[in-house]
Structure 1
Amino acid sequence: MKKIFFIVSICALFSMSCNTVAKQEKAPEAIGPVPTAQQLAWHDLEFYWFIHFGPNTFTNKEWGHGDEPADAFNPTALDCNQWATIAKQSGAKGIILTAKHHDGFCLWPSKYSKHTVRESKWENGKGDVVKALSEACKANGLLFGIYLSPWDRNHPEYGTPEYNDVYVNTMAEVTTQYGPLFEFWWDGANGEGPNGKKQVYDFARFEKEIKKLAPDAVVFSDIGPDIRWVGNESGIAGKTNWNLLDTAGFTRGAGAPSQDTLNQGNVNGKNWIPAECDVSIRPGWFYHAEEDDKVKTPEQLFDLYLKSVGRGSSFLLNVPPDRRGLIHPNDSAALAGFKKYRDESFADNLFKNISVRYTNAAGEPVTIHFDNGFAKDYINAGGDKNIITIDPGKAETINCILLKEYIALGQSIKQFKCLLKNGEETVKTIEGTTIGHKRLLTFDATAVTSVDIVIEDTKGNALISDIAAYRIPGQLVEK
């Protein structure tokens, strides 16, 4: 593997004092596939909402059959601003709406369907949920995304080549009328339509069109092109989680890699397609009154955060409005508690004022002083078999370590460990594989005077962009 070296003068890079200044060297090359600008921005979002809402909300179904009357959709007090306000208060960065689920009902008055809000009693057929939520997101500083199921159990042309034209036209409607979008979501479900036929989706055409219609949006499906399914609906990424995936031989909507592969990615995958962790705050995806007492607790939501964002993925949490068209108080209370836990857990970085020591390519010791946490860029920890020592200058009791890689140049670290030390004694060893965008390691509270991060195996240079430590409430530590 490559020996350790720095890319630029450390003092110039981080604007801080150094005991030893490394020589300026050429920036490292990217390692394998790298994210696009849109994917990098998506990685930084980390937490955002899903909203499942439609006729299923009123018929108590999860998958509608497409024969539900349009009048079944009739919220009595719909308030998209309430949704967006609660989402903002929860710390979410955006909302993805099920503009059309498998039942084919469109939450906007589509010109290409006769099964829409226009045909319902709600707002005397003049309502538009997609428009209302798009505007509410803009007003609350949130990003807006669209879920548009290719499956349509109502449209008479479903199962014919003409339906692909219909689907492209509906994509154009929602992107041009309600954008800009940060994410476009393709469900992989494909069943029979009202004529008993299944559709042969033209995903190659769909992808080409959506990239023209919404060039700044990332596109989700089981295998991308931009974001992949994590392989479960539990909100949990693999402890090993590569942002890379091999998609050769697979077709969207007609087969994907195994769920284990989707969960962990491919170490040498040919495409940068990171995982998104989707889960509902309730047992179901749509609102059901009998689940009002089954909302996930703040502690459960925080645990899912550690197992999604804390393993380098994003956390897509579904929060379904009730039959009034409002977020239920039980859901908003759980979300407020979840936000409080995150704020309190990560408010005080105990590794803010630290010295970072390791050896440069010339075999000389290098010490970098951080006076207010890590800078925005990265340190180049070279290849494997290198040790980065973190010295907080005084004993600290911690139970969480945060690590980040500079993923703009790829994902490199394959295996590492953290040695928690008290004096010369190693009092705890934390093993890890991948880091990626963010890794949150939790453990029982331990008093440390220093931490050694041992880079054991890499694909190239290990570029570390952040190191932090916290003392989070004990009951929230991942077991």
Structure 2
Amino acid sequence: MKKLLFFAAAYFFYTGLQAQKPAVNQPIPSPRQLAWQKMDYYFFVHFGPNTFTDLEWGKGTEPEDVFNPTNLDCGQWCRIAKAAGAKGIIITAKHHDGFCLWPSKYSTHTVAQSKWKDGKGDVLRELSDSCKKYGLKMGVYLSPWDRNHPQYGTPAYNDVFVNMMKEVVSNYGPFFEFWWDGANGEGPNGKKQVYDWQRFKQTMRSIAPNTVVFSDIGPDARWVGNEKGFAGDPDWNTLDTAGFTPGLGAPSQDTLNHGNVYGKVWIPAECDVSIRPGWFYHIEEDEKVKPPEELFQLYLKSVGRGANLLLNVPPDRNGVINAHDSAALVGFKALRDESFTKAIADKKFKAASSTYTIPLGRKQKINCIILQEDIATGQKIKAFTVQLLQNGKTVNELHGHTVGKKRILSFTATEADTFTVKIDDAKATPLLNEIAAYLIDEGLVEKE
């Protein structure tokens, strides 16, 4: 009997400990996805013939000499990205018009055929070198659609695209992200391409196993379902992809915006949005650059909902980022620094719990709380409640859905001496590994 009691006590002690550990909830992020999700925010750079023709989608018939930046300075792009707090730059190495910003062996519509630098120029080389110099990560957008290539619309084009992927990875990598656009229009022969997505994926896994690959449905990161820069609430990192393809065969935009609560594959959202109305530079949009306050709102609705923010900053015809964009970006960084550099409270946790209590030390105003879930073991939280307390009494109550990598809650400033975070519903035992509180400018509180 004593032995039975001993083993019973040992069992309950052990299971009690297990209950305090965050249960692994499949699916979980791969190491490359986890590293990518920690980046939060980086630049998109749309640059090419469209910069000089004022088009958004080039026709593929533009003469190569159209592309002629007078003073390309990728170092300036990187300096501005660093000053803006961005972690990397993804460039449109080949947009739908088919023009390659590097001297590709697999196309005759490239910088090598242009008069820029007498055909000796290479934008990808200059950006790759600058990113290394300034400590930024580099990514590449390579559109499968090619409105110029004569083999587009035939099986042979899949070989061309695979060779181009191998070419840029081997010559300019490593990349933190490789971007596949889902657009699938006609080529110069009037035919649409049947993309061999499985082969494309296998190629990337083989030549760049640490690179996150983006499309509407991943395989590593997904389009968020809009080009306005906001993720859904809730925002799940999981998605069901069986039976879907990038482009027209993708899930609904609403599904992409929110993910699937019980999705079978870990494919987090990336929010792409331009700092200007268009994606490529147009001089008439110089006065329409999004101001710092609007960029901050985009940050709250992307990074603040657990997604990554991909902010497009297009260089002008000189090959530099315009002063209007630069000023807005530096102002955006200043707002983030002013808001999040000094925390009123910041507490880290190692044990899972259903309720977390954060004392503020004294009664003081807060209007922003940041929650971070331990996504390395999966995304679990489905609903939570934040209670702000004063002398033990609730003075404000907030309700939320998902947390994920990061959840930024902003609200009307409230005086409190303590607040609690209660997990109301979860798929498995969750762990909030960090909770912080701030007082930000009231004008920056998230707007509908």
Q: 2:351 aligns with which of 364, 379, 392?
A: 379
Residue 207 (structure 1) aligns with: 201
Residue 5 (structure 2) aligns with: none
Q: 2:358 aligns with which of 374, 390, 412?
A: 390
Residue 230 (structure 1) aligns with: 224
3-state secondary structure, aligned to 2:220: coil
Residue 72 (structure 2) aligns with: 78
With the length of structure 1 as denominator, give the TM-score of the two structures. Answer: 0.89
Residue 161 (structure 1) aligns with: 155
* Alignment partner of 1:177 is 2:171: yes
Is this contact kept in 1: 2:21–2:351, CA < 8 A?
Answer: no
CA shift at 1:391, angstroms?
1.3
Residue 322 (structure 1) aligns with: 316
Residues of 1 paired with 2:19 and 2:403: CA distance?
25
Alignment of 1:65-464 (within 5 A): 65-352=59-346, 373-374=347-348, 378-381=350-353, 386-464=354-432
Residues of 2 paired with 1:75 and 1:422: CA distance?
60
User: Which of the two has greater helix per residue?
Assistant: 2
Residues of 2 paired with 1:475 and 1:156: CA distance?
53
* Letter of the structure 2 residue corresponding to residue 286 of structure 1: F
Deviation per CA, 1:144-203, whole angstroms, max 9, x where unpaired?
000000000000000000000000000011000000100000000000000100000001
CA shift at 1:24, angstroms?
7.8
CA shift at 1:111, angstroms?
0.4
* Letter of the structure 2 residue corresponding to residue 399 of structure 1: N
- Paired residues, what number? 434
Residues of 1 paired with 2:426 and 2:364: CA distance?
29
Residue 361 (structure 1) aligns with: none
CA shift at 1:393, angstroms?
2.1
With the length of structure 2 as denominator, give the TM-score of the two structures. Answer: 0.95
3-state secondary structure, aligned to 1:293: helix
Farther-moved stretch of structure 1 (453-462 vs 147-156): 453-462
Seq. identity, %: 62
CA shift at 1:252, angstroms?
2.4
3-state secondary structure, aligned to 1:450: strand
Residue 357 (structure 1) aligns with: none
3-state secondary structure, aligned to 2:362: coil
* Letter of the structure 1 residue corresponding to residue 204 of structure 2: I
Is this contact kept in 1: 2:88–2:138, CA < 8 A?
Answer: yes
RMSD: 1.4
3-state secondary structure, aligned to 2:60: coil
Is this contact kept in 1: 2:364–2:415, CA < 8 A?
Answer: yes
Deviation per CA, 1:213-248, whole angstroms, max 9, x where unpaired?
111100000000000000000000011000000001
3-state secondary structure, aligned to 1:191: coil
CA shift at 1:405, angstroms?
0.6
Deviation per CA, 1:411-446, whole angstroms, max 9, x where unpaired?
111001101111122111111000000000000111
* Letter of the structure 2 residue corresponding to residue 107 of structure 1: L
CA shift at 1:75, angstroms?
0.5
* Letter of the structure 1 residue corresponding to residue 244 of structure 2: F
3-state secondary structure, aligned to 1:411: coil
Deviation per CA, 1:446-476, whole angstroms, max 9, x where unpaired?
1111112121111110211110000111111
Deviation per CA, 1:285-336, whole angstroms, max 9, x where unpaired?
0000000000000000000000000000000000000000010000000000
3-state secondary structure, aligned to 1:330: helix
3-state secondary structure, aligned to 2:249: coil
3-state secondary structure, aligned to 1:304: helix
Residues of 2 paired with 1:189 and 1:326: CA distance?
27
* Alignment partner of 1:465 is 2:443: no
Consecutive unaligned residues in structure 2, runs of 5 or more: 1-12
Residue 10 (structure 2) aligns with: none
Deviation per CA, 1:117-141, whole angstroms, max 9, x where unpaired?
0011110100000110011000000
3-state secondary structure, aligned to 1:66: coil
Residues of 2 paired with 1:457 and 1:405: CA distance?
14
Deviation per CA, 1:38-74, whole angstroms, max 9, x where unpaired?
0000110000000000000000000000000000000
Residues of 2 paired with 1:42 and 1:342: CA distance?
20
